A and B are shown apart, each in its own frame.
Chain A
Amino acid sequence: MSHTTHADLGGQPGHGRVLPEAEGELFHAAWEPRVLALTLAMGTTGAWNIDISRSARETLANYRDLSYYEVWFTALRKLLAERHLVAPDEADAGRALHPRRPLARKLMAADVPAALAAGSPTARPATTPARYAVGQAVRMYAGPVPHHTRLPAYVRGKCGVVERLHGAHVFADAHASGRGEQPQWLYTVAFDGAELWPDQKARGLTVSVDAWEPYMVAA
């Protein structure tokens, strides 16, 4: 299965300057909060998980041309269509044309505060000892990844140092592909700026990523 992400932006040149905004500016059109809420509500139904959702967004062919909440909306329609929950003709018409499908859960208004306060922790009991220790040098995997992953391109093949262990967590790569949680040890791996960006003077810069154990080998 091929997988092309359009969301892996770390280190890419040419995106211009950052435009700061005041603290209260959350939305820029009335439909944006609706898309946020629809996505959060459907995310609780059990029809997909957060990793499937991220995978659906980053693989949209027109990702770069869409605004943030347009990405969310387009991915939501895609997920609903793939699962035959809402067909494209229904979404276009604005009315139900086909029978509803059963869903595991439905988020009711009264349950929203508790659901937000609980969240969805991804820590799981570890079933194996951690392979790497704090202070150990590791090299990040550099081969092809034909599926959703959270290993950014700019650290692939780079040598870093394990800085923290976070216990075992749901493995996004497996979880996004419908292969279950397959928990793996999660580490914070820190890289010297000069290792990541050899052609620029990056003195005094350290960058870390959070990486699951399969992303690395001992260096």
Chain B
Amino acid sequence: MTAHDHEHSDLSPMELRVRALETVLGQKGYIDPAALDVLIDSYQTRIGPRNGARVVARAWVDAEFREGLRRDASAAIATLGYSGRQGEHMVAVENTPERHNMVVCTLCSCYPWPVLGLPPTWYKSAPYRSRAVRDPRGVLRDFGVTLPESTDIRVWDSTAEVRYLVIPMRPPGTEGLGEEALAALVTRDSMIGTGLPLSPPAKACR
């Protein structure tokens, strides 16, 4: 038995069905097989939540950029090189001590791809889509996050082609950090509103 045969014997029924369709689409000339690899690679290496983290870090250090985000988030984000598919019409929503923002798509999985990449499985799942609009504090508990009772929650259901990016609050104790170090504190979940940014690493003892 060749290695090739062995590989095929291990494939799941779904793997076989997808390969079958991909083969037909290629034979009929509807797709460029190489384009598939570029698409996948784009979302595995180039377009992901580190992009959004850079947007947030810039907003934390640059008041003019933050103002630009409020005025026209798509244009401000494009100045950092992020634009396009599933982020054509961006709105940035800023957390404050009084208000915490959370983003959901109850109808499918709308998500700001240019800044956050592909949505995580939980974002597309029935538990999150059903509960975020009704019990966001309960959802936050699932993520281990508790907000003060005095903080109101604002949920944005992405039902059209507008895409939302949460700008979390800058953590205390980060005054001396540069943009890159700040971006490292910005988690994906903090830009969806199901998490908070990380705390800065404690200073080592002398």
Contacts and interface: CB of A to CB of B under 8 A. Distances in A.
Q: Do A and B form a real pair?
A: yes
Interface of A: 5, 7-13, 15-21, 23, 25-26, 28-31, 33-38, 40-42, 45, 54, 57-58, 64, 68, 70, 73, 76-77, 80, 85-86, 90-96, 100, 103, 106-109, 111-113, 115-123, 150-152, 154, 164, 166, 169-170, 172, 186, 188, 196-197, 200, 202, 204-212
Contacts of B154: 206-208
Contacts of A117: 83-85
A184 to B, nearest CB: 10
B24 A186 contact: no
Contacts of A172: 160
> Chain B interface: which size bin?
35 or more
Given A31-B19, A33-B44, A41-B35, 18 more contacts: A7-B108, A20-B189, A23-B188, A26-B43, A30-B15, A37-B39, A38-B21, A68-B125, A91-B17, A93-B20, A96-B27, A106-B31, A154-B134, A169-B160, A188-B156, A205-B155, A206-B154, A208-B155
B128 interface: yes
A16 B25 contact: no
Contact of A42 (B30, B86, B87, B156): B30
A119 to B, nearest CB: 4
A93 to B, nearest CB: 7
Given A8-B106, A118-B84, A122-B161, A36 B43 contact: yes
A76 B123 CA distance: 21
A90 to B, nearest CB: 5
A135 B120 CA distance: 34
